[in-house]
Structure formats: structure tokens, C-alpha cells
Amino acid sequence: MNRRIFATLGAACALCLGTRKLGAYVLPPVAPGEQEGSTPPHPSPPLSEPERFPVSIDEYKSIDPAFWPQLVSYATAELPGTIVINTDDRFLYLVLESGQAKRYGIGVGRDGFGWSGTAMVGRKTKWPMWFPPKEMQYRDKEARRWRRGMPGGPRNPLGARALYLFQGSADTLFRIHGTRDPKSIGKAVSSGCIRMLNADVVELYDRVAPGTKVVVLPSTRPVVQKPRRSNKIAQARRRRRNRNRYAAYRRYYRRRYRRSIFDLFWGQDDW
């Protein structure tokens, strides 16, 4: 090996060792989110699922502005996240922190169909199907038509969302749901369920989870009882109905008897 080749090899080895030593002290580049004085970027919220049917806020025009959703002061012993329903005032309260609540206007059950007590949100459904109970089928012609279930949609009585109220594992058969009749908000016209505008129930659906406590306050208003009919009036109607029935029987047999007499004397041929 001559002197020139030995010098070349020595220079190459020194270069490799120097590079490896320098590489041990090279720091990796700092990510933009980890630099001092910067805040990590927040993940963008996921895109909401598009509605199967349109939900319009124009429904607010058809109700009293007092029933529009708003933030109010509300003193209660219930924990934040609880739903409190005041059937007398026609309001639903979603309890928040710092003595506040989000208040929504509702429609409640008419006299004889109200319900009160403590329950929880057993499950939630978007654009639910409507299965009318048997009691409703007996008194409502439209309910009998949909005894096997009415698909979700704008004409469905449950509206855009439904929160099913349970007591333990038992379904109370009462719901917090939307409505196809915005003008019923603030009134007592339902069969016991709590009605909300579709835009309001969509917002409540997104803010509560299954297991949420629901308190329905008992009504303090007296239930108006329908006046009972007098027994004398019922008895008079019954006698009139029987008299008309017996009169019809007499007319029938009188015509039949006259026809048989006529056939006996004049209806036969003498030939």
C-alpha cells in the first residue's frame, strides 16, 4: 500500500466518525403545536348528520313569544342536567349551573290525561315511528289506521325527536317529543305526552343523554269534570227508544197481517 492510498483511507474514516458524532447532537425539529407560547389546535367538530326531513324555525311565528326558548334564572334543588317540567306554566326547564336553566315552551296533556312523577330518559330516537296505544285506538280513528306503526316524518305526531321516559326498566308510555301542530304549544291538548317545537326538541335531544333525570311536577289546577247527565233524562231517552222500536214492530206485523188476509180472500184464482 503506497502513501497516497493510506492517506485517502485515513481521511475517509475521519470523515465518517465526524459525521456520526455530529448526528448524535442534532435535535429533531419542533412541531408547530409544541412550540413555546403556542396553543395546541382544537379538533374540528364532526359534521352533523343531515336531517331526513326539514326542520324550520318559522314555527316560532305561530306561537306566543313567551314560549320561545330562552335562558332564565331558575332556583331548584335538582342537579345540573336535570329536566324539570312544569305542566301548569307549560314550560320545560333544562337545569344549568349557577342557578340558571334553559326554558322551552311545551304542550301538555289535557284534563284526565296528565302525568306527574320522576322518571329518566330511557332512550332517544330521531324521527321516531308512532305506535298508538290501544286506548287511543278506541277513541281515535286515525290512531286505529296506524295501529301497526306510522313511519317517521313531518306528518308523524312525534315530530323530529322523541325522548322515552322510563321508571327503572318499565316504560311509562309517556314521551317528550316534537309535534306537527306548532299551535298546540302552550296548551293542554295532548294525550299526556310533552310536546315541543321540532327545533326545540332537536336542541334538547343533542344536550341530554340516556339516563337523564326527568321531574314532572304535579298540577295544582283543579281538573274540570264534565257534568253528569241526569238519570231522568237517560230514562226518558231509553223509553223513547223502546217506544219507537215497538212501534216499528207493530207496523211491520200489521202490514204482514193485512197482506195475508188479502191473499186469503182475493189473491186466489177460482178457475
Backbone phi, psi, residue 186, to 5°: 90, 5
Residue 27 makes CB contacts below 8 A (sequence gap 6+) with none
Backbone phi, psi, residue 125, to 5°: -145, 140
Name the amino acid, one letter, at 246. Y
Residue 222 makes CB contacts below 8 A (sequence gap 6+) with none
Q: How many CA atoms lie within 13 A of 69 on its CB side?
A: 17
What is the β-pairing status of strands 83-86 and 213-217?
parallel
Residue 105 CA to residue 85 CA, distance in Å, equals 10
Name the amino acid, one letter, at 120. M
- Cβ neighbour number for residue 108 with a 10 Å cutoff: 28
Q: How many CA atoms lie within 13 A of 152 on its CB side?
A: 17
Q: Is the Cα torsion angle 71, 73, 74, 80 positive or negative in sign? A: positive
* Catalytic residue chosen out of the listed positions 13, 16, 42, 193: 193
What b-and-e string marks burial along 116-125, b requiring 16 or more CB atoms within 10 Å of the CB? eeebbbbebe
Residue 120 makes CB contacts below 8 A (sequence gap 6+) with 165, 166, 167, 210, 211, 212, 213, 214
Residue 258 CA to residue 133 CA, distance in Å, equals 55
**Is-catalytic flag, 42?**
no
**Is-catalytic flag, 177?**
yes
Q: Would you please indicate which residues are annotated as catalytic (active-site) residues?
A: 177, 193
